[in-house]
Structures are given as C-alpha cells and as structure tokens.
C-alpha cells in the first residue's frame, strides 16, 4: 500500500477531531493548509489538510479517499494554522468549524481562490492614431476617446464620467477601443512615498511617545492606547502605520460594527496612497473573497473591518490595531464564541508584530494586563485639537414629574443650548415607543408567550414586538385578560421620546438613530450626514448614536435612564455602565465649544456615579478591580459558561444529571488544592425561557486558567459521548461576557 498517502483533514463538523483520508495515486499529495473535497457520510465536504500522516501502522482498508484537491498552495500559512488550532483548544470548538469561519463564504464552498480582475477599456493602436476631431459629430464618442487618451478606465469609472454604454459599444464595434484586465497591484510594493503628508499633525508629546513605543522593528508587543475621545488616538494609529507602509508591510485594523463608516475609510485613504481593503457589510460574497485574497497575496496594504476581519491572512504582516477594544461587538455570541481582541493578542505574538488596543474606557481584562505589565500603557490625557473638557452634572429625579422621561431641569437646559444654535443629544438605550403594555383595569401585562419578557410597543406602525425572539402582533384593542379597553403603555422608548421632543420643541428638527430608524440601507449614513450638516438640532438615540461619531456642534449630552444598570445582577454591569457613560459623554464639546453632560438618576448618591463623575474611569476601575479580586471574579479568576437549551425541560434535567455524573468525579480528580475548579449551577439562566426554549447554565471557574481548560476539555469530550447531550443544544463559552 505504499503508493497511498494518508492525510488528516479538518472538516466542518461539531466533532472536535480531524479525519483521515487516503490520497490516491492519481492525485498529487496536497500541501498542509490546502482545501480538499472529501466524502463524509453521504455528503461531500470541503476541508483543510492539517497534517501528512505516516501510514505504516494504520489500517487503511477502512479509509476513504479524497475526491479533489482545490488549492495547489495553502491559503493560510503555518502561523495561521497554529493560531487556529490554538483557538480550537482554547475555545473548545471544532477546528474544522473554525477553519470554515476563517474563510470567506465562496472559498468555504470550494470556489477557486482567484481574484476577479476588473476589466478596463483602452484605445487600440488604431484608436490611438485617431484624430479626436474626426468624431466631432459624435460628441460622446469623442469625449470617450479624449478620456482614454490619458489612460485605461473601468466601465464603472466611465459611467461616473458620464459616458454611457452606446458610445462605448460604437467605438468597440469600430475597433477603436478594447478591453484588457486591470493589472493587480504588485505584491507589497508600497513604501515611504505612499504616505501623504498634507493633513498630518505635529504630534503632541504624549502622542509622540506613543508612536515611538509602537515599534515594528521590535516585533511583538501589546500596547494599550488609553485616551478619551478626541485625544488623538487615530492620529497615533496613522503615524504608527507609517512604519508599516514604509517597510512594505500590511496592517490589519479592526473597528466596532458601528465604526465602519465612510469617514473611517476616508481618514486612512487621505493619509495613505495604498490599496485598502474595506470589509463593510454591503459587500457581496465575491467582493469579500477578493478582499481576503488581496490581503493574502499582499496586494492590499491596509485591511479595515469588523470582528471577523481578524481571520484575514496577511502576506507580510506588520501590525494589528483594534480600535474601541472594549466594544462588545468583538465577541461573537454564537457558534464559535471567540473574542477577536483576545485572538489578536495570540496572533500578533505568533506573527511577531505589534498589537495596539485603543480605548477611552478599556475593558477590565485589558486594564489588568496593563497594570501587571503584560501590556505597555500609552496614555493620552489631553484632547488633541484644543477642545475643552466637558462639565458633568447629575440631575436628581426622585419625586420629579417627568415628561416622556425628561425632567423640567433637562428641558430647561435643552432650551438654552438650542437657543444658542448648538445641538443637543439625548441618549436612551431603549428603542420603540414603550417597553411594556398593560391593562389599566386588571393589570394584565403584555408578555411574550415564548420568552420571559414583555412586548415592546411600537406606536408608529402599531405593533407590539418581543425584542428577544422577534414575535410580533398588532397592538390589541382589548385586554385579553378582562376584555377592558384601557390599554396603556409603561415606560419610555426612543420613539416616544422623539414624539415628545417634536411637540415640546417644534422650532427645531430632530433625528432618531436606533435600530428601527436605520433599518433601510443607507439610512444611518444619511442621518449622520444630516447631523454634520446641522439639518437637525436634537439628536435622539440608543447605543448606536453613542459610539465614535464626530459631532462637533453637540454641546449638551443627556443620559436619560440608566438606573437599572446600577443594581443589576451581572457582575460586569458597573463596567459596562461606566464605559457607556463615558462613551456617550465623549460626544459633547469636541470642537472649541465647551460641552455639558447631564445624567438623570434616582440615585445621585450612588458610589459608581460619584466616582465616575469626580475621579474618572481609571480611578473607578481601580476600585472596581479590587472588588473583582476580592469576589474572585474575572479578570482575576477565569471563567467558562456551559449553556444548555431545549424545548423540553425534562431533557435538560437529563443533561444536568449526565453532567453531574461526569463532572463531579472529574472535579475531584483534576483539582489541585491551590487552584480548584469551582462549579456554580446548573441553574436557570437569568432569562429562563427564550423563543420557546428553556435555558440553563453552569459556571466553571478557577484561579488558574490551565486548570480550568484541562477540566473543560475532558468534560466536554465525555459529555459529547453521552446520549443526553445529543437531545439538547449545549455550548461552552470561554471568557463569557453576556450571561443572560
Ligand atoms: P480619537 O481617535 O482619540 O478620537 P483623533 O485622532 O480623531 O482622536 O483626534 C481628534 C481630533 O484632533 C481630530 O480632528 C484630529 O485631526 C485632531 N488631532 C489629532 N492629533 C492632533 C495633533 N497632534 N495636533 C492637532 N490636532 C490633532
Ligand atoms: Zn384587563
Ligand atoms: Zn419572545
């Protein structure tokens, strides 16, 4: 059997092991990292070769042969393979599935890895010889010849220059123009000359120190670039990237979902005359694959994208930057539950390149790593362009009559700012008209039948909707409980706030930015542009409005209602609230106008609000980290969450029994005295029912990460073998962020 060779292939199945296949004689042995088509059960799957095996002591009789080799060269280099298999171990997730997620959809499906080349129109020899005046009577054709005289152009570019297809066809028919494929950008050929100096700032001393500390020559390091909004972090990224460009390397830049705007792209474009891959949500599969391949082949210098862009391979890696590193969107909340930020740290180390994490409000994990010296801390303490600090104020609303969530004191302030011609921003993290519908006569509450949640009322289109499962109905006219007709709403959402504001301030235009108002494609960009152009004076929004946008004319920022978060059961609630508070207040007074931030609360004396207001985020986080340490919580202890859900509570009970039978002896067996693994639960999830399913969870934690991982690895393997685990949906979330 010596002519047969054995390979291991990672295929996308939940089973956490590779599968062995034979490579038949008539197929040349695929490289490690190449895609192959293999038979799998009754199906054919695309997998990645992970290893060549020695077949001397394997019973090959039972093995199947691979069907086809799709790539001559591996798509991802060995460092990426190393990295992905680390992720498989760390997140306890199938390597085959991780490979699938690391590839763009078309490559996943087996499409050839070829960049689609744009076609350009150029003049033929005959066309070049032509005297344009001879086309005097065909103005459009004449214009086209003149345009192409100065170089070949794509059909899209011609369309922009107002040349329509009849003219193109006419000239092509006459043999005066022809199509050629556009040459691909030569591999990693950018250099110092591609840096555009015109809008570059002279760095202030803190920025200069930061740029110098992010040194490409020195290889791997992780830096935390800590600075409030407007302190010049982006300028630091740009100047740090200069070293990358000068040396013909590539930089990967991750931004939160909400930060992927044309303005972001524009900032990089106006500083670097290099090919940029911009991975925004409007791309189709083909464009996505092209971007991925351009990065992989070294035909793009900068790659800017959201979470999943972390998987983009780089031919000549130079740097990774994660802007707003604390942002929740870097954590994937289903299937492969990775955190792009944490993955980036490991990748940067393997690629031996610097990683920069930027934020005004770093997450506690990152701060802890900076405190312990694992990350270098680069602090920008001043606003870069001479803007003044915002003033902060708490408005006590105990016993105060509110108008759609606004206190008289706030209304007064709004009037003052608006009168001065400035913009006002109202932040309320609740979309819809009202968060609940109830019957005034019998107290009936509109609850979702499938979740432990109330329906949200959406007044404009007259429906109620559960924001957890999407279940939607027309607003009932009668109470289902007593038949009464006095159905009233409780609480305030952004839709109601907008109506109230329009009524109270009829002379000013308002705009609402939330998931409902921005559903239409292009709607968000249009609203943001309207704000910049001062078409609107009152800005109302949820989280979406809070992040990263530049609104120089906003002078008053009001946070309407965050009291719920002050007393939440989630141990991260204080961290999240502080981040939100500072992100929102960062919107105020960015230009030369001083900003004012107000927060309405029933608990102005609350320690968290006091600390944030008087001492700032860093001091607040120091105290909060001490509490985390005392309570043995992350980042001091390490955590994994096992979730289980099913329509049938009995099947969950069976699963919990199996878990106990497997887990308890294992806990005893693996636990060392100094760093045991602790188990909390099984217990119902905070939202016990969602979309008709019962949900339970178990927390595992340990002061020693390796200990926790050893336990989870064996536990999940043993569980997977148990019948009870196949009748429910269960998953493991390492370093969970959302525990709901
Ligand atoms: P951040 O990313 O921290 O919000 P930016 O880099 O966007 O901050 O800087 C905020 C504003 O200050 C921008 O308009 C930027 O052009 C300007 N800026 C940044 N650095 C400097 C500097 N050294 N001198 C003058 N203006 C600067
Ligand atoms: Zn009723
Ligand atoms: Zn629901």
Residue range 450-472, pLDDT digits in tens: 999 999 999 999 999 999 999 99
Instruction: Indicate if the pLDDT at residue 3 is higher than 70.
Output: no
Ligand 1: atom nearest CA of 236 is 6
Residue nearest to atom 5 of ligand 1 (CA): 232
The DSSP bridge pattern shows strands 436-439 and 487-490 to be antiparallel
Residues 6+ apart with CB under 8 A from 467: 431, 432, 453, 456
Q: How far apart are CA 50 and CA 9, in angstroms?
A: 6
Q: How remote is the CA of residue 581 from the centroid of ligand 1, in Å?
A: 21
**Which two structure tokens, joined as six digits, stand for 535?**
């078409």
CA 107 to chain centre: 22
Instruction: Tell me, using a 6 A CB cutoff, whether residue 234 lines ligand 1.
Output: yes
Q: How remote is the CA of residue 398 from the centroid of ligand 2, in Å?
A: 30
Q: How far apart are CA 320 and CA 356, in angstroms?
A: 6
Residues 6+ apart with CB under 8 A from 39: 64, 65, 67
Which listed ligand is nearest to 236 at the C-alpha? 1
646 neighbors 729 (Cβ within 8 angstroms): yes
Residue nearest to atom 21 of ligand 1 (CA): 384
Report pLDDT for 388: 66
Instruction: Tell me, using a 6 A CB cutoff, whether residue 233 lines ligand 1.
Output: yes
Residue nearest to atom 24 of ligand 1 (CA): 201
Q: Which residues pair with 165 in a beta bridge?
A: none
Q: Which residues of 104-138 are buried (b: 16+ CB within 10 A; e: fewer)?
A: bebbbeebebeeeeeebbebeeebeebeeeebeee
Q: Tell me the pLDDT band of 154, cut-offs 50, 70 and 90.
A: confident
Summarize pLDDT for 540-551 with one digit per residue, the tens: 999 888 776 778
Residue 363 phi/psi, 5° resolution? -70, 160
Query: Which of 11-20, 179-188, 670-679 is most confident?
Result: 179-188
Q: What is the mean pLDDT of the chain?
A: 91
H/E segment holding residue 492: none
Q: How remote is the CA of residue 337 from the centroid of ligand 3, in Å?
A: 23
Three-state DSSP at 410 gives: helix
Q: How remote is the CA of residue 113 from the centroid of ligand 2, in Å?
A: 62
Report pLDDT for 282: 83
Q: What's the Cα-to-Cα distance from 139 to each of 144, 160, 164, 264, 497, rounded to whole Å?
A: 9, 17, 12, 39, 56
Give pTM, 2 decimals. Answer: 0.91
Instruction: Indicate if the pLDDT at residue 390 is higher than 90.
Output: no
- CA dihedral over 12, 289, 262, 540, signed as positive or negative: negative
Residue nearest to atom 26 of ligand 1 (CA): 385
Q: How remote is the CA of residue 306 from the centroid of ligand 2, in Å?
A: 47
Q: How remote is the CA of residue 553 from the centroid of ligand 1, in Å?
A: 16
Summarize pLDDT for 554-595 with one digit per residue, the tens: 999 999 998 888 888 889 999 999 998 888 887 776 556 778
Instruction: Tell me, using a 6 A CB cutoff, whether residue 208 lines ligand 1.
Output: no
Which listed ligand is nearest to 440 at the C-alpha? 2
Instruction: Tell me, using a 6 A CB cutoff, whether residue 203 lines ligand 1.
Output: yes
Pocket of ligand 1, candidates 198, 201, 210, 235: which has the most ligand atoms within 8 Å of its Cβ, to mutate?
Answer: 235
Instruction: Indicate if the pLDDT at residue 58 is higher than 80.
Output: no
Q: What's the Cα-to-Cα distance from 626 to each of 610, 621, 630, 734, rounded to whole Å?
A: 17, 8, 6, 23
Lowest mean per-residue pLDDT among 109-123, 151-165, 470-484? 151-165
Task: Give the total residue count for the chain.
Answer: 740
- HSE of 725, CA atoms in CB hemisphere, 13 A: 19
Q: How remote is the CA of residue 291 from the centroid of ligand 1, in Å?
A: 29
Q: Which residues pair with 223 in a beta bridge?
A: 356, 376
Three-state DSSP at 476 gives: coil
Which comes out higher in pLDDT, residue 308 or 264? 308
**Which two structure tokens, joined as six digits, stand for 720?**
């997977």
Summarize pLDDT for 275-293 with one digit per residue, the tens: 999 998 889 999 999 999 9
Q: How far apart are CA 258 and CA 301, in angstroms?
A: 23
Q: What is the DSSP letter of 133?
A: G
Three-state DSSP at 723 gives: helix
Q: Tell me the pLDDT band of 674, cut-offs 50, 70 and 90.
A: low
Q: Tell me the pLDDT band of 56, cut-offs 50, 70 and 90.
A: low
Ligand 1: atom nearest CA of 237 is 6
Q: How remote is the CA of residue 496 from the centroid of ligand 3, in Å?
A: 22
Q: Cα torsion at 698, 701, 707, 711 (round to 10°)?
A: 0
CA 372 to chain centre: 27
Pocket of ligand 1, candidates 233, 234, 582: which has the most ligand atoms within 8 Å of its Cβ, to mutate?
Answer: 234
Question: Which among 188, 434, 150, 404 is positioned nearest to 298, based on CA atoms?
Answer: 188
Pocket of ligand 1, candidates 203, 384, 547: which has the most ligand atoms within 8 Å of its Cβ, to mutate?
Answer: 384
Summarize pLDDT for 178-199 with one digit per residue, the tens: 988 888 899 999 999 999 998 8
Report pLDDT for 1: 44
Q: What is the DSSP letter of 674?
A: S
**Which two structure tokens, joined as six digits, stand for 656?**
């919990």
Which listed ligand is nearest to 447 at the C-alpha? 3
Instruction: Tell me, using a 6 A CB cutoff, whether residue 200 lines ligand 1.
Output: no
Q: How remote is the CA of residue 465 from the centroid of ligand 2, in Å?
A: 19
Which listed ligand is nearest to 452 at the C-alpha? 3
474 neighbors 482 (Cβ within 8 angstroms): no
Ligand 1: atom nearest CA of 235 is 6
Report pLDDT for 509: 97
Instruction: Indicate if the pLDDT at residue 4 is higher than 60.
Output: no
Instruction: Indicate if the pLDDT at residue 55 is higher than 90.
Output: no
Ligand 1: atom nearest CA of 229 is 4
Question: Which among 376, 380, 349 is positioned nearest to 213, based on CA atoms?
Answer: 376
Which listed ligand is nearest to 324 at the C-alpha? 1
Instruction: Tell me, using a 6 A CB cutoff, whether residue 231 lines ligand 1.
Output: yes
531 neighbors 399 (Cβ within 8 angstroms): no
Report pLDDT for 473: 95
Q: How remote is the CA of residue 486 from the centroid of ligand 2, in Å?
A: 8
Ligand 1: atom nearest CA of 238 is 6
Q: How remote is the CA of residue 493 from the centroid of ligand 3, in Å?
A: 18
Residue nearest to atom 14 of ligand 1 (CA): 385
561 neighbors 496 (Cβ within 8 angstroms): no
Instruction: Tell me, using a 6 A CB cutoff, whether residue 235 lines ligand 1.
Output: yes
Q: How far apart are CA 477 and CA 25, in angstroms?
A: 73
Summarize pLDDT for 480-533 with one digit per residue, the tens: 999 999 999 999 999 999 999 999 999 999 999 999 998 888 888 899 889 989
Q: How many CB atoms lie within 10 A of CB 54?
A: 9
Ligand 1: atom nearest CA of 323 is 2
Report pLDDT for 399: 94
State mean pLDDT over 660-672. Answer: 83
Instruction: Tell me, using a 6 A CB cutoff, whether residue 384 lines ligand 1.
Output: yes
Pocket of ligand 1, candidates 385, 550, 585: which has the most ligand atoms within 8 Å of its Cβ, to mutate?
Answer: 385
Pocket of ligand 1, candidates 205, 231, 232: which has the most ligand atoms within 8 Å of its Cβ, to mutate?
Answer: 232
């Amino acid at each position: 059997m010596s002519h047969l060779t054995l390979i291991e292939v990672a295929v996308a199945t939940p089973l956490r092991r590779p599968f062995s296949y034979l490579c038949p004689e008539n197929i040349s042995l695929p490289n490690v990292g190449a895609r192959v088509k293999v038979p799998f059960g009754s199906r054919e799957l695309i997998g990645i070769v992970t290893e060549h095996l020695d077949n001397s002591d394997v019973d090959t009789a039972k093995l199947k042969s691979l069907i086809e080799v799709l790539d001559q060269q591996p798509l991802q280099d060995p460092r990426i393979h190393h990295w992905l298999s680390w992720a498989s171990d760390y997140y306890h997730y199938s390597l085959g599935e991780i490979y699938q997620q690391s590839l763009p959809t078309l490559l996943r499906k087996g499409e050839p890895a070829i960049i689609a080349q744009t076609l350009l129109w150029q003049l033929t020899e005959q066309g070049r010889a032509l005297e344009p005046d001879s086309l005097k009577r065909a103005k459009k054709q004449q214009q086209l010849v003149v345009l192409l005289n100065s170089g070949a152009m794509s059909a899209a570019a011609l369309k922009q220059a107002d040349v329509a297809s009849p003219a193109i066809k006419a000239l092509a028919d006459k043999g005066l123009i022809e199509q050629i494929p556009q040459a691909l950008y030569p591999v990693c050929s950018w250099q110092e000359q591609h840096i555009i100096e015109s809008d570059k700032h002279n760095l202030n001393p803190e920025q200069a120190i930061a740029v110098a500390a992010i040194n490409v020559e020195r290889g791997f390091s992780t830096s935390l670039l800590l600075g409030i909004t407007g302190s010049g972090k982006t300028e630091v990224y740009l100047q740090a990237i200069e070293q990358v460009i000068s040396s013909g390397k590539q930089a990967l830049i991750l931004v939160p979902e909400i930060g992927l705007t044309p303005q972001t792209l524009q900032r990089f474009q106006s500083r670097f005359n290099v090919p940029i891959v911009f991975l925004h949500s409007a791309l189709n599969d083909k464009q996505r694959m092209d971007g991925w391949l351009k990065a992989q082949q070294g035909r793009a210098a900068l790659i800017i994208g959201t979470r999943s862009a972390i998987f983009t391979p780089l031919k000549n890696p130079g740097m990774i930057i994660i802007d707003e590193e604390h942002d929740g969107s870097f954590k994937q909340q289903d299937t492969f539950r990775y955190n792009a930020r944490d993955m980036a740290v490991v990748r940067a180390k393997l690629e031996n390149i610097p990683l920069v994490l930027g934020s005004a409000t770093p997450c506690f994990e990152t701060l802890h790593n900076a405190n312990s010296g694992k990350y270098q801390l680069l602090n920008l303490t001043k606003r870069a362009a001479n803007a003044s600090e915002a003033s902060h104020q708490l408005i006590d609303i105990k016993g105060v009559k509110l108008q759609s969530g606004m206190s008289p004191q706030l209304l007064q302030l709004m009037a003052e700012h608006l009168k001065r011609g400035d913009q006002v921003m109202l932040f309320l993290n609740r979309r819809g008209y009202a968060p609940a519908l109830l019957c005034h006569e019998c107290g009936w509450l509109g609850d979702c039948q499938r979740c432990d949640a109330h329906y949200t009322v959406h007044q404009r289109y007259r429906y109620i909707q559960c924001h957890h499962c999407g279940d939607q109905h027309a607003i009932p006219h009668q109470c289902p409980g007593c038949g009464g007709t006095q159905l009233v709403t409780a609480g305030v959402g952004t839709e109601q706030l907008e109506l109230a504001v329009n009524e109270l301030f009829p002379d000013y235009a308002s705009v609402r930015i939330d998931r409902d108002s921005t559903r239409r494609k292009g709607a968000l960009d249009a609203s943001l542009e309207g704000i910049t152009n001062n078409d609107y004076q009152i800005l109302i929004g949820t989280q979406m409005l809070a992040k990263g946008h530049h609104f120089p004319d906003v002078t008053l920022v009001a946070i309407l209602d965050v009291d719920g978060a002050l007393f939440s059961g989630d141990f991260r609630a204080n961290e999240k609230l502080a981040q939100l508070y500072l992100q929102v207040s960062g919107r105020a007074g960015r230009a030369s106008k001083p900003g004012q931030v107000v927060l309405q609360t029933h608990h102005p004396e609350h320690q968290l609000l006091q600390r944030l207001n008087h001492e700032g985020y860093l001091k607040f986080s120091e105290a909060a980290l001490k509490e985390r340490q005392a309570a043995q919580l992350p980042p001091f202890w390490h955590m994994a969450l096992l979730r289980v859900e099913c329509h049938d509570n009995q099947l969950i009970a069976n699963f919990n029994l199996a878990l106990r039978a497997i887990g308890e002896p294992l806990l005893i067996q693996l636990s060392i005295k100094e760093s045991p693994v602790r188990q909390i639960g099984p217990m119902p999830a905070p939202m016990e029912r969602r979309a008709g399913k019962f949900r339970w969870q178990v927390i595992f934690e340990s002061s020693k990460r390796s200990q926790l991982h050893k336990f989870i690895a064996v536990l999940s393997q043993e569980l997977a073998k148990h019948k009870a685990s196949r009748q429910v949906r269960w998953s493991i979330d390492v370093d969970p962020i959302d525990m709901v």
